[in-house]
Structure 1
Amino acid sequence: MTDVALTPEDDAPATGFRARHALLKRLADVVSLPASRINAFERSVTGDLLVEMLRLASADDRKRVAARLAPLTELPNALARMLLRDDPEIAGLLIEQCASLSDADLVACARDATMDHRFLMASRRGLSEVVSETLLSFGETPVIEAVLRNQTARLSQVAMEGVVSLSRTERSLCHSILRRPELRPSGAYVMFWWCDPDDRKTILQRFAVSREVMQEVSEDVFAMAAKEGWQDPVSRKALQFIERRQRNRAAIEKSPWGGLEQAIEAAAAEGLTRELASEIAYLSGVKPITGAKILGDPGGEPVAILCKATGLSRNELAGLWRSMRRPELQPDGTPDLVWERVQITYEMLAVDRAQTVLRYWNWSLSSALTPALLRAIRDGEEEALDDYSAPERAAMLALAENFGR
């Protein structure tokens, strides 16, 4: 072989050098040979030489080589690493088509390359949990939306909690999150608070589940717990979530209004005071902080859920609505759209399913509020969510906006 000295013009893209183009093609062909024709070491050495040539090659040459190598089942690591960090239109050929890329290759590319690379990767078929979580960790809305739309991508529960948390400020993500099979009721119930009306309807239709099976298997446990005097706080809390009765009988006995219907009637006549709001919450079997979140919600659907779960009639729903001084008619005399939506929500839910939603809210928004959690909510420490339990994380997300007002 004749030694050829490189001259300065060799450093620039040289479309007229037929030998360079031919050699690039031949080396790419060698790398593409099956294992029966070339061993792993030979493939690796050929790949190293190809990398050195591609460093000085034009974008068109690099693109041709990438297209040639994309279908390979085995690709030299150095070559893959270089091409994955190339311009997006070149790297995209491997990202979209090369099945031999490992999770390690994709994660490294996501970390070292640009958002354009991550956006291309987000649509790659069969993304693993590790790669998806890496892509989501950058917090780039277009990339996150692309991952969520990718029905072949797999997402871990940690990743789902992350995007649920992000959706509080990036509301456009809500619809895509609700289409993911990995979303669980715990995430959907807390996301409900900042979803739009259509997405709220989807949550109630899909995630407002019955507790009938739990009630059947634990029926005799209620008698056991009663015999023990309800001394075990763990079983008592779980049974409170499972039981069929929603209203607080102890609160009803102590109430100066005599019952939930009477308290709502008084609120409709006098207006909803802080005292009446707390009393309605207690009588409904929820804590005042849960009641405040429900009654203060601008969308109104939580009020319908509260009324349906507690067995209140349509008249009591209307009375509670009036007590909050919420309109039933628009200025032109037509029905108010929000009030219409509240009534539809009331009608569409079965009592048992409404109770599931209400009790999860009460569980996550009240019993989870430890001093540390309250401090975290006030300080906006949402990045520390991993330190808290599922209901504590739900409380942080749902109440963070309230504390920020």
Structure 2
Amino acid sequence: MNSAARTSSLVEPEAPKAPPRSRLTLLKRLADVVCLPTNQINAFERAMTADLLVEMLRDASVAEREKVAGRLAVLNEIPGVLVRLLLRDELPVARALLVEAERLTDADLISCLYNASTEHRRLIAQRRGVSEVVADALVDMGEPPVIETLLRNDLVRLSHQGVESIVAATRDASYLIPLLLRRAELRPSHAYVMFWWADAEVRKIILQRFAVSREILREAVDDVFDPVSAEGAEDPLSRKALRFIDRHQRNHAAIDKSPFGSLEEAIAAGANGLTREIAEEILYLAGLQPMTGAKIFTDPGGEPLAVLCKAAGLPRGCVRQLWRGLDRQEVDRSGELDHALERVMIIYDMVAVDRAQTVLRYWDWSLTSALTPALLKAIREGEEAAVGEYSAPRRAGMMTLSRDLDR
């Protein structure tokens, strides 16, 4: 390398030149014109100025664009071409509008959230009075940090579809569940679905808050039971609705066809090993669908067993028999009741029969007919993992049972 080259290599690169002060002044003046009240500028003049300002902003520095955005944020109505440009800009530029501009339209916000960063979407989720349509679009992006921000915003409006999508998202982001439980938009059907992947404490909260009585429904339709029963299979829709309301959980008509004399006998027979045949018979006598039973028997927490036994009017001992039949540990090394079983017994003692029936029938009803594809997919995900704890014969039986619905 010659001396000239060595000298050249030691020369530091020139710092970028600051933009001329006159350009900053020009940008400010154009922004001032756009901000003029309607009695001083007409719509065409404002649009023409906005077009010119957009052309200059495309090549302006971030600092210059940020200053213009801050100036425009106070307007009640910002020209569309400027909104689209600045909302999709880098976060320092877009922040002024997303935080301070009160009159951005749903169309502006949706265009931004589909074409900007996660942090842009989080700022949108923080805005006052986020509409249902914008909230739905944010949820559809599937970003837990953005959904968390939405749930913490008490001024956001969540649609039924939006809540269902968030419920499905909580399977992989369980920390969202307590936030969702705070929302007034959450319905029992949502909570009972979320129950399947919630932790023990949240399950207890769901049963305490959403396990409601059906007494008012029974009083309203008490005189309809006999006419619907007389019509038999002619009106299956009414029979299905009344089945949800009825105070009797067990399928008493199934006793005559069962090899067992009662539901208690079937459970006792399964205490030494819950085979597929015995499990199906228990479900038949308890008036449950196969998919519901599969979810109950393969649930790792065990709380659904307490709900089943309480809803069917079974004694506490039946919980332990089912527990034993599923090869679960009953006592710990010290000989005391296993912590998981103790927790399940507390649930059994806590929930009333009528309210346990409500939960059980919501599960039975929703798992077979009332869920959207997203929620049904969320429930079925992880099913193989759930039954993986059991022995090979038990696992095969439970998986077959869980798929009976598909046939």
Shorter-normalised TM-score: what interval?
A: 0.7 to 0.9
Structure 2 letter corresponding to 1:390: L
Q: Determine the structure 1 residue equivalent to 2:227.
A: 224
- Structure 2 distance, partners of 1:396, 1:59, is 44
Structure 1 letter corresponding to 2:378: L
Q: Determine the structure 2 residue equivalent to 1:373.
A: none
Q: Determine the structure 2 residue equivalent to 1:248.
A: 251
1:157 aligns with 2:138: no
* Partner residue of 2:310 out of 308, 318, 333: 308
Whether the 8 Å CA contact 2:164–2:375 is kept in 1: the answer is no
**3-state secondary structure, aligned to 1:229:** helix
- Shift, 1:57, TM fit: 2.1
* Partner residue of 2:99 out of 89, 96, 119: 96
- Structure 1 distance, partners of 2:362, 2:232, is 24
How many residue pairs get matched?
372
Q: Determine the structure 1 residue equivalent to 2:324.
A: 322
Whether the 8 Å CA contact 2:167–2:375 is kept in 1: the answer is no
**3-state secondary structure, aligned to 2:178:** helix
1:77 aligns with 2:58: no
- Structure 2 distance, partners of 1:315, 1:16, is 82
Q: Which of structures 1 and 2 has the larger relative contact order (alpha carbons within 8 angstroms, sep 6+)?
A: 2
1:168 aligns with 2:149: no
- Structure 2 distance, partners of 1:222, 1:391, is 29
Question: CA-to-partner distance for each residue in 1:290-333, whole Å, 9 max, x for gaps?
Answer: 22221221101100100110111222222322332322332244
Instruction: Provide the aligned C-alpha RMSD in A.
Output: 2.4
Q: Determine the structure 2 residue equivalent to 1:50.
A: 53
Label 1:57 to 1:353 Cα distance change in 2 as closer, same or farther (>3 A): same
Q: For 1:22-61, list aligned pairs within 5 A.
A: 22-61=25-64
Q: Determine the structure 1 residue equivalent to 2:90.
A: 87
- Shift, 1:247, TM fit: 0.8
Label 1:84 to 1:37 Cα distance change in 2 as closer, same or farther (>3 A): same
Q: Determine the structure 2 residue equivalent to 1:282.
A: 284
Whether the 8 Å CA contact 1:306–1:358 is kept in 2: the answer is yes
- Shift, 1:14, TM fit: 5.5
Range moving further from structure 2, 310-319 or 350-359: 310-319
Q: Determine the structure 2 residue equivalent to 1:260.
A: 263
Question: CA-to-partner distance for each residue in 1:190-209, whole Å, 9 max, x for gaps?
Answer: 22111222222222222222
- Shift, 1:36, TM fit: 3.1
- Shift, 1:60, TM fit: 1.3
Q: Determine the structure 1 residue equivalent to 2:196.
A: 193
**3-state secondary structure, aligned to 2:28:** helix
Q: Determine the structure 1 residue equivalent to 2:341.
A: 339
Q: Determine the structure 1 residue equivalent to 2:380.
A: 399
Structure 1 gap ranges (5+)? 1-11, 369-388
Q: Determine the structure 2 residue equivalent to 1:382.
A: none
- Structure 2 distance, partners of 1:234, 1:274, is 30
Q: Determine the structure 2 residue equivalent to 1:374.
A: none
Label 1:392 to 1:134 Cα distance change in 2 as closer, same or farther (>3 A): closer
Range moving further from structure 2, 244-253 or 283-292: 283-292
Label 1:28 to 1:13 Cα distance change in 2 as closer, same or farther (>3 A): farther
Range moving further from structure 2, 62-71 or 114-123: 114-123
Question: CA-to-partner distance for each residue in 1:92-141, whole Å, 9 max, x for gaps?
Answer: 11011111211111111112222232222222221111111222222223
- Structure 1 distance, partners of 2:131, 2:200, is 32
- Structure 2 distance, partners of 1:395, 1:244, is 27
- Shift, 1:153, TM fit: 1.6
- Structure 2 distance, partners of 1:264, 1:276, is 8
**3-state secondary structure, aligned to 1:239:** helix
- Structure 2 distance, partners of 1:163, 1:16, is 47
TM-score, normalised on structure 2?
A: 0.84
Structure 2 gap ranges (5+)? 1-14, 389-407
- Structure 1 distance, partners of 2:228, 2:304, is 31
Percent of pairs identical after alignment? 55
- Structure 1 distance, partners of 2:183, 2:320, is 35
1:113 aligns with 2:94: no
- Structure 1 distance, partners of 2:79, 2:356, is 57
Structure 2 letter corresponding to 1:171: S
Structure 2 letter corresponding to 1:349: V
**3-state secondary structure, aligned to 1:245:** coil
